[in-house]
Amino acid sequence: MIVKGTKGGRTLRLNLMISYGGREEILRSVKVLAERVDQGGLAVDDIDEEALRQTLLTGNMPDPDLLIRTSGEYRISNFMLWQIAYAELHITPVLWPDFPREHLFEAVLDYQRRDRRLGLIGTS
């Protein structure tokens, strides 16, 4: 599935989220939507997941499929709280500055072995 979906792809996207907070981002998005309602440009009934997603800093990007958590910590640390709802997590003890290509390959191979259910219960 991944191979078919990325066939012909020629680019790799790396997003660095510096001085970023997921809660702050969601709060900012809610305020943007509230302002649009207040100004008459948006009806409350038109606010849905997609409307909120589009106001996020990453609104023009697809949600991540894989989140690599360096430093061995088993927490997401307020990172992309909305976007990683269905992302697979790969935890590695290696710190980010020391993260080598081999560990990236290991994370991708680990991801390929996963049974992605995207929130569904049981196996696909």
- Does the pLDDT value for residue 51 go beyond 90? yes
- Does the pLDDT value for residue 1 go beyond 80? no
Determine the pLDDT at residue 7.
73
3-state SS assignment for residue 91: strand
Per-residue pLDDT of 3-32, as tens digits, reads 666 677 777 777 777 778 999 999 999 999
Count the residues in the chain. Answer: 124
**Which phi and psi angles does 90 have, rounded to 5°?**
-125, 120
- Does the pLDDT value for residue 114 go beyond 70? yes
Q: Return the C-alpha torsion angle 89, 95, 98, 103, nearest 10.
A: -20
Give 54's Cβ-side CA count (13 Å radius): 7
Rounded to an integer, what is the distance from CA 26 to the centroid of its chain? 13
Predicted TM-score (pTM) of the model is 0.76
Tokens at 110, concatenated: 């680990």
- Gap between the Cα atoms of 62 and 65, Å rounded: 9
Average of pLDDT values for 89-103?
Answer: 94
Determine the pLDDT at residue 123.
60
